[in-house]
Structure 1
Amino acid sequence: MSFLSLVGVEFKKIKRSKILLILLVATVILWIPSILNVHMNFDMQAEGISPENNFFIQGFMGMSWFMFPASMVVGTVLLSQTERANKGILKMLSLPISTAKLCMAKFVVLLALAALQIGMAVGMYYVGAAIASSTQNYNFILQPLFVFKEAGLIFGAAIPMLAFFWLLSVCIQTPIFSIGIGLASIVPSVLMINTKAWFAYPMSYPFFVITAEYGKLATNLDTAQVELIPWIPVAIGITILALSISCLRFGQAERR
């Protein structure tokens, strides 16, 4: 079976799962406070940022710090449990398919889910911005090119984090422990972005890049900026290491 066929099979498996519903609910909840408190964006003009930019960036900061990583933790565990729930993993492992290939096919699905939730966030942003514009008689809607560029930055920065979450779900068989450790790893990211070693902690990547963009938009705020060296080499190393261990460990518990 080809790799693309495996990916297609994995997508079919999640059709009846609650993963997509969880991602949608989390995204809707994210933007409700922004819509209800839209008037507060005008107070931020003293920081040198326009109300429309603040509305957008504050919503995406909230998403990148907790809501998006937390959704991915839960989604990752649910994705791995689609096989374990009915011992389907044993059937898959009995087929002449490389376990590493199967592991990577599932990770590709995880990446697609991450992209989907970020896309949902973009869609909800425009819905929220349209509602805010009508209630405040002010245009909060930004150009799509800018919005999609920021969304793309978050997705790219999230890949090492997703690789780490996938490693947790593969190595920790008990779902509650895997979710607990994953959620606990998110909290320190707000502290790590204020240190010089932020690049060593992949859970802080999405939040760091969007915070750096906030500093660019708010002329009176000084935030740390992304330095590609040593970030990119370290991020690539973390991703490769996490996926390598995941491929080696995938299915080992079920084979015993």
Structure 2
Amino acid sequence: MKFFSLVSIEFKKIRRSKILLILMVAAIILWLPSIFNADLNFGMQAEGISPENNFLIQGFMGMAWFMFPASMVVSTVLLNMTERSNKGILKMLSLPIATAELCLAKFVVLLALAAFQILMTALMYFVSAGIASQMQDYNFILQPLFVFKEAGLIFVSAIPMLAFFWLLSVCIKTPIFSIGIGLASIVPSVLIINTKAWFTYPMSYPFFVITSEYGKLATNLDTAQVEFIPWTPVAIVITILCLSVSCLRFGQAERR
């Protein structure tokens, strides 16, 4: 079976799941505080950032720090549970399919789910910015190219984090433990981004990237900026290592 056919099958498995619904609801909930507190964006002149830029970045910071990583932790566990609930993993492993390819196909689905949630978040930004504009009689809506560029940065920087979450879901068979460890790993990111070793902790990547973008937009605010060396090679190594171990461990318990 070709890899793309395998990915297509994996997408079909989640059509009736609640994963997409969960991601959509999370994207909607994220922007509600921004709408209700839109007036607070006018009090950021000391930081040297415009109200419309602050509206976007604050929303994206909330997503990058907790909402998005937490949604991905739950998504990884649900992806594995779709197989284990009806012993579907045993049926898949009985087919002439390389276990590593099946594992990677599921990871591709996870990447697609991440892209879907980030896209939904970006689209909901325009809806919430439009509502806030009407409420405050001020235009909060930014250029789409800028908004999607910021969203794209979050997605690319999140790939190593997603690989780590996938590793957790593969190696830890008890869903509650997998979710608990995944959620616990998110919390320290807000502290780790303030250290020089932030690039060693993949859960801090999305939040660090969007925080650095905040520093670029706020002329009076000094934030650490992304340095591609050593971040890029470390991120690549972490991603490859997590996916390699995931491929080795995937389906081991079911084969016994």
Shorter-normalised TM-score: what interval?
A: over 0.9
Partner of 1:223: 223
- Per-residue CA deviation, residues 38-79 of structure 1 (Å, 9 max, x unaligned), is 000000122100000000000000000000000000011000
Mapped to 2, the partners of 1:79 and 1:220 lie a distance apart of: 44
Partner of 2:7: 7
- Per-residue CA deviation, residues 118-165 of structure 1 (Å, 9 max, x unaligned), is 000001100000001111111100001100110000000000000000
| Structure 2 residues without counterparts, runs of 5 or longer | none
Moved over 6 A (4+): none
Corresponding letter in the other structure for 2:71: S
The percent of aligned pairs where both chains have the same amino acid is: 82
Partner of 2:129: 129
Q: Please give the residue correspondences for 1:187-202 in structure 2 after superposition, counting only pairs within 5 Å.
A: 187-202=187-202
Mapped to 2, the partners of 1:111 and 1:70 lie a distance apart of: 14
Mapped to 1, the partners of 2:61 and 2:106 lie a distance apart of: 27
1:88 and 2:79 equivalent? no
Structure 1 residue 206: Cα displacement = 0.1
Q: Please give the residue correspondences for 1:37-116 in structure 2 after superposition, counting only pairs within 5 Å.
A: 37-116=37-116
| Matched position secondary structure for 2:221 | coil
Q: Compute the RMSD of aligned alpha carbons.
A: 0.4
Mapped to 2, the partners of 1:195 and 1:245 lie a distance apart of: 28
Mapped to 2, the partners of 1:199 and 1:81 lie a distance apart of: 31
TM-score by length of 2: 1.00
Mapped to 2, the partners of 1:210 and 1:118 lie a distance apart of: 13
Mapped to 1, the partners of 2:51 and 2:24 lie a distance apart of: 26
1:208 and 2:208 equivalent? yes
Partner of 1:241: 241
Mapped to 1, the partners of 2:22 and 2:145 lie a distance apart of: 27
Mapped to 1, the partners of 2:151 and 2:3 lie a distance apart of: 27
| Matched position secondary structure for 1:97 | coil
| Matched position secondary structure for 2:229 | helix
Mapped to 2, the partners of 1:134 and 1:73 lie a distance apart of: 35
TM-score by length of 1: 1.00
Corresponding letter in the other structure for 2:156: G
Q: Please give the residue correspondences for 1:165-180 in structure 2 after superposition, counting only pairs within 5 Å.
A: 165-180=165-180
| Matched position secondary structure for 2:44 | helix
